Each structure stands twice: as C-alpha cells, then as structure tokens.
Amino acid sequence: MLESLQVVTGLRNGAVAESLLLEALEAQGIRLDVRRLNEPERMSGTLERCNHVLFVLPIMGDNDITDELLELLRRFVAAAHCDNRAVLVAAKGDRHVSDEFVSLAAPFGVKLHNLFSAVGAFRILETKLDTDTAMTVAREVADVANSLSATDVAHLSELTRLLPERPLWQPHKRLLDFYSPGTGFSLLKGQNVSALQKVAGCIVNLAPRVLTIRDAGLVDDTLPGIASALCAEVIDLGSNALTLPAAAPVLVNCRWLSMAANQLTHADLSVLPASVEKINLQKNMLGELSLDRAHGAQFSEVSLYRNRLAELEWPDDQVAITRLNVGANPLERLPDSLANARYLRSLGVARTGLKRLPEWIFHLPQIRELDISYIENVLPVPQIGKLRQMGVALITRPGHSTE
C-alpha cells in the first residue's frame, strides 16, 4: 500500500486542479512531500524517503511542454537521482472531446520519455488533470504506484542500466517486453553472454507473467544464457531462429507459447511440456507437424497459419481445441479426427486448397466462426448457406460477400 509520495509540481501555486489532486491523494492516507520546480531553494534535499515520485506538469494546447519548464526538469532530474525510483507524470491541461487524453507520441510524451530515459519504472498517466478529473487521476496514481513495489523498481532500474533503453513493463499484467519500436528489434539483440545472464537474473527477480523476446537474434546456442528467465506463463519468442527441441526443456511454467517466424521446418509438439495449452507457430516453413497420441497436454489454441503443410495429422484424443488456424497452407483435406473436437469454436482455412468442407464441420456443437478468405468462391454455395443458417460467422476477403 502506497504510504508516501514525493510530488514535484510545475504548476503555479494555488492551481485549483492541483489542490484537488493533493486532497484526493491525502484522503487515501498517502503522506505527501510537495515541492515546486520554480522554487530552487526547496528543491535541494532529496527523495530518500520516497520510492515514488509524481510530477504534475502543465501541457500546452498543442500537446507540448515549454522549454523553460523542460530545463527546470533537467536540473531536478540531474540532482535527484530519479533513476532508482518509480516516476509518474500527470499532465494538467484543457480537455475536450478530441484532446481528452495525453498522447505519448506527441511532443509532451516524447520529450519526457527522453528526459527520463534512465528511469526503469516510468509512466505518463493517460488522463489529463483538470478540476473534473482530480479524483480519477488520484486513483490512477495510487493504482499504478501500488503495482510498482520497491523491489520491482530496483530490478527495472537495473535492466535499464544494462540495456540501450527502458524495456516495456506493464505492472498490472506483469508484462515485460524487450521489443524496441524505434529499432524494430529486441533490446537483447547483439548482447553478449555476460550481459544476457545479468538480464536473465533481473527477469527472474521480476517474475513476469508475460514475457516478450521477439527479434532478438536468439539461436539454440544462446538459450543457456537466458534459460532461467523463460519462467513466465506467456512467452513470445517470435522472429528468432530457435527450434522446439532446444526451447521446450526450459519452458517449465509456460502455458502460452509463440514461436512464430522462427524458420521452423518441422515441429514435434510432443516435446513441449504438458503445461503448454496454446501455441502459435504461424509464418514458419513447416512441412511436417507431429503430435503423439496421449501426449499428456491438451491444446486449446493452435495457429499454423502460413506454413507449408500439405498434410495434417491430428490425434483423436486432442479434443480440447477451441481455436485452430491452418490457413495459408497447401492443404486439400482436413483430418477426420477433428470431428471429435466438440469444443472447437473457431476454425481458419483461408488460402488453403480445400474445394469442399468436410461434413463433420456441420456437426460441431460449438462452432461459431469460420475463416474462408480467398476460398469463398470455391466452396459449394449450399455449404456456405448451411453455415449461415447455423449462425456461423464467416470471415471472407475484404470487400467480398457470400450473400
């Protein structure tokens, strides 16, 4: 529970929205230490007692911040050692229907992200502060701050020091994403073994539930350095060059796995731990897929979209599947064993070689959605009409209708 908060404000003294925000924070039992950027004599002294700092800053009508205020912020950040603390920013500005929230892509967001680039736990609050939203912003401040423990902040700070920039951390989801939109690659790409091991230690300590390491240049030989970090329930290892036999042994807690675009030519799903329920293998080069009967795991969602599968074998004991996508494969038939998939709700067969749907599809009790994009003109019209009568939602190519 958040007990104390350092508030650093760039607003004029007596601003009504600020007063309402501070009152709302204090009403939640939070002790406040308020300082003003335009009072340098009060800015000396420090943040030793506060793990969380809230900056309340005016945002201009064009979603920018003044150069003068930005310079004051630079001086404060240089003196206050904010990099070891969680930093939140609330933007005070006029709100209207087209400008109600803070845009992170606008100058205000970009400049502050750059200024606080060394801060591992940094967040600009989405809601703008005014007299009508003070309570909402106060609740958001407390909610975000309570989700960032002191130990989480320390590990995020260490990660940011080890890497070229701050990774994405969403505390409520416990989601850690190393992908950098600015470069199009993972922050882990090109890191040496020693650095990867240090990063892995931080990941283990953070204990994310969702972990994304896409476009990191990972190969099987690099796995030992980060194996301990692959402890999340949801893991995205897309766009690397890994194989299932190498990755499977270290995915001990994984329930949802993506190994999309890993150049896989063969996938034996039987090597996966029984904990894996959902797997995404789209955009590989799979020509063969195997899965032993009585594997132990029951897959609920499988995507094999855009591979090279001419045949698909599906064990008749895999009956828990709810979503299956085999689209963009040169398949001319579907396995009859899928007739046992009584929970199947969504099936994707877009861009396949199917000329006719198997009759068992019309007897699946839970089927609700069928993707027939780019084969809708090939399938028999009576079959499409029967699906519509059943209330099945048909996905077709853009602008095309089967009516």
Q: Do 73 and 28 fall within a single domain?
A: yes
User: What's the burial of 356, exposed, middle or buried (CB within 10 Å: 0-12/13-18/19+)?
Assistant: exposed
Contact residues for 353 (Cβ-Cβ < 8 A; gap 6+): 330, 331, 332
Q: Is 23 helix (H, G, I), strand (E, B) or coil?
A: helix
Angle at alpha carbon of residue 79, lines to 78 and 84, rounded to 5°: 80
Q: Which residues lie across from 124 on neighbouring strands?
A: 89
Q: Do 160 and 288 fall within a single domain?
A: yes
Q: Give residue 371's pLDDT.
A: 98
Segment-wise mean pLDDT, segments of 10 residues, the chain, 403 residues = 89 90 94 84 51 93 90 86 88 76 88 93 93 94 92 94 94 95 92 93 96 96 93 97 96 96 96 95 97 82 98 93 98 96 97 97 97 96 96 92 69
Angle at alpha carbon of residue 150, lines to 149 and 154, rounded to 5°: 120
Q: Give residue 84's pLDDT.
A: 85
- Structure token digits, residue 41: 């004599």
Q: Give residue 93's pLDDT.
A: 86
Q: Which residues lie across from 32 on neighbouring strands?
A: 5
Q: Do 207 and 332 fall within a single domain?
A: yes
CATH code assigned at 69: 3.40.50.360
Q: Give residue 47's pLDDT.
A: 46
Asked if residue 48 belongs to a domain, the reply is yes
Q: Do 383 and 266 fall within a single domain?
A: yes
Asked if residue 242 belongs to a domain, the reply is yes
Q: Do 313 and 355 fall within a single domain?
A: yes
Instruction: Give me the number of domains the chain comprises.
Output: 2
Nearest to 156 by CA among 85, 231, 80: 85
Contact at 8 Å (CB) between 282 and 307? yes
Q: Give residue 49's pLDDT.
A: 58
Asked if residue 402 belongs to a domain, the reply is no
Q: Give residue 79's pLDDT.
A: 78
- Structure token digits, residue 59: 């945002």
For 67, other C-beta atoms within 10 Å of its C-beta total 9
State how far the Cα of 250 lies from the Cα of 321, in Å rounded to an integer: 24
Nearest to 324 by CA among 295, 353, 361: 361
Q: Global pTM?
A: 0.89
Q: Which residue, of 100, 124, 148, is where some domain finishes?
A: 148
Asked if residue 384 belongs to a domain, the reply is yes
Helix (H) or strand (E) holding 84: none
State how far the Cα of 296 lies from the Cα of 246, in Å rounded to an integer: 20
Placement of tokens 């039987």 in the chain:
270
Q: How far is CA 200 from CA 155, 158, 164, 180, 230, in A?
A: 11, 11, 16, 18, 8
Q: Is 187 helix (H, G, I), strand (E, B) or coil?
A: coil
Q: Give residue 98's pLDDT.
A: 63
Domain residues for the domain of 90 are 4-148
Q: Give residue 46's pLDDT.
A: 45
Q: Which residue, of 105, 133, 148, is where some domain finishes?
A: 148
Q: Do 105 and 190 fall within a single domain?
A: no
CATH code assigned at 378: 3.80.10.10
Q: Do 143 and 183 fall within a single domain?
A: no
Q: Which residue, of 111, 129, 148, is where some domain finishes?
A: 148
- DSSP conformation class of 118: T
Q: Do 201 and 84 fall within a single domain?
A: no
Q: Do 18 and 32 fall within a single domain?
A: yes
Q: Do 114 and 158 fall within a single domain?
A: no
- DSSP conformation class of 219: B
Q: Do 195 and 320 fall within a single domain?
A: yes
Fill in the amino acid letter for 75. Answer: R
Q: Do 291 and 201 fall within a single domain?
A: yes
